[in-house]
A and B are shown apart, each in its own frame.
Chain A
Amino acid sequence: MGSIELVCPAGSPAMLRAAIEAGADSVYCGLRDDTNARNFPGLNFSPAELRDSVAWAHDHGAKVLLAVNTFARAGAGDRWRASVDAAAGTGVDAVIVADLGVLAHAREAHPGLRLHLSVQAAAGSPEAIDFYAEAYGVKRVVLPRVLSVEEIAALMREITVETEAFVFGGLCVMAEGRCALSSYVTGRSPNLSGVCSPPEAVTYTEEEGALVSRLGGLALDRYAPGEPAGYPTLCKGRFDVDGGLSYLFEDPVSLNAMSLLAALRRAGVTAVKVEGRQRGKAYVARVASAFRAAIDALDQGVDPAPFERLLSDLAEGGRETAGAYRKTWR
């Protein structure tokens, strides 16, 4: 059984270098526009920065994967095609794509370009994955974060392409690629605009000692003094319904599936992925370092348990979960 590949996020060239120096085998990043799902101000790469970073990564034995993983909008498809063309010109090792039209363009215009299917495509069945592999030559599928480890193992027995599974970071609760909650309030969504809860629609105010987060003027949560806070997303909002206050969709928690690394490897997963291009150098250095140590321990037949608690303070809301990988309610 071979080692599992560690794929880490990079929101800037500096973060890319930090990830690789801390032990990432591959780094994924995006260009500075809405063709990727982390379209935040000040984040991402210019084509020139991407070219230099790819060269630096290759010199250091690492790969670079470019996310062009939002859905192309009618009348604006040129931008998505241009991103794929730019990727091909910079020597990236693969492009991560969700949209059928973008996949078709990549396949036709750059037949040598390796294609990974984004988590945004939500391909979680053998039939769906086979379709992408046969129609577009997709070599790897990033699995939607709705499958248990047992379901992944069953899936792997029926497919021939590589798979990549998220193991750490922010956790979306909706079916991958189909969340429009942010659009209802702000007009922009991660799948189309590359941004969930765009920062221009977010405000924080102190009210009677509490921190109140709002999106588009709607209150999402009210944190008591000292209470850990979460991201300002509707899915993590705490609402008063029929006199009861609760998180209707999902608690503010982060994914940490380090304890399931061995099971994911046994299931046949090729690579594990860390979320968080919008975080920074300190975050990616710590996460990459901890997962590098855990993967190396696994490779040497050593229990990686000592590394599992190293990252708890990075979690949204100060809490971690294994997410759908452990569906105890099923």
Chain B
Amino acid sequence: MTGRAAPRRSGAAAVVLMALRHPAERLLTLALRRVARRRPDVFERLGEAGDVTFIVAPSDLPVAFRLRPGGGSGDVQVIRAADETPRAARISGPLLTLLALFDGRCDADSAFFSRRIRIDGDTRAVVALHNTLEAAELTLADLLGVGPPFRDRLNAGLSGALNRLRPAEGL
């Protein structure tokens, strides 16, 4: 791949992903609101950080996710990775690392020490989000809003895939 081809390919991928963003936004927003309904304890633990806007930016994707927990009326939006949209806190790193942090299989401090993840902005909100996810025991199926009877099967499949990819990502 030449130096010019990579940005062009990334730019094309961003265009495609942004064109397809609405179903993803709807899916993720519904999943967030379902967690809010079923697990009010999660939002209680999140505290003031529930009103904060987070950007979760997979470093290997041309798009990022803007998360507004906002109690039961929160939402998730897909934005371009380079979009400097107003936010309180930003968390970035490889997608697999971020997913492993979400379901608690990866130690966040180690990922930070080894520079696999990066945070900027409101550190208090990021710490609150991390601690809340750690306590919540949410799974990858929760992230996609998938309930029974497919939940366990999906979690097993996604966990297996994540575990196979772990050595390559240093997880």
Q: Which residues of chain A have a CB within 8 Å of any CB of chain B?
A: 11-15, 40-43, 198-200, 202-206, 211, 223, 225-230, 278-283, 286, 313-318
Contacts and interface: CB of A to CB of B under 8 A. Distances in A.
Contacts, number: 102
Interface in B113-152: 113-115, 118-120, 122-132, 134-137
Interface stretch (B19-27, B53-61, B99-107): B99-107
A306 B20 CA distance: 50
Contacts of B45: 42
Given A202-B123, A204-B120, A228-B115, A42 B106 contact: no
Contacts of B73: none
Contacts of A43: 131
B131 A211 contact: no
Central interface residue in A227, A278, A282, by most chain B CB within 10 Å = A282
A60 B106 CA distance: 25
By size class, the interface of chain B is: 20 to 34
A204 B119 contact: yes
A314 B107 contact: yes
Contact of B47 (A41, A228, A279): A41
A14 to B, nearest CB: 5
Nearest to B136: A14
Which DSSP category, helix, strand, loop or mixed, fits chain A's interface?
mixed
Nearest to B48: A41
A230 B113 contact: yes
Chain A to chain B: the 6 pairs with minimum beta-carbon distance, closest first:
A42-B131, A12-B135, A41-B128, A42-B128, A199-B124, A200-B124
Q: Per DSSP, are chain B's interface residues mostly helix, strand or loop, or mixed?
A: helix
B109 interface: yes
A279 B46 CA distance: 16
Nearest to B46: A42
A283 B109 contact: yes
A14 B45 CA distance: 13
A221 B31 CA distance: 39
B106 A282 contact: yes
A294 B131 CA distance: 29
Contacts of A223: 115
Contacts of A202: 123-124
B98 interface: no
B124 A14 contact: no
Q: Which of B45, B47, B123, B126 has the most CB atoms of chain A within a 10 A radius of its CB?
A: B123
Nearest to A287: B107
Contact of B135 (A15, A283, A315): A15
Contacts of B115: 211, 223, 225-229
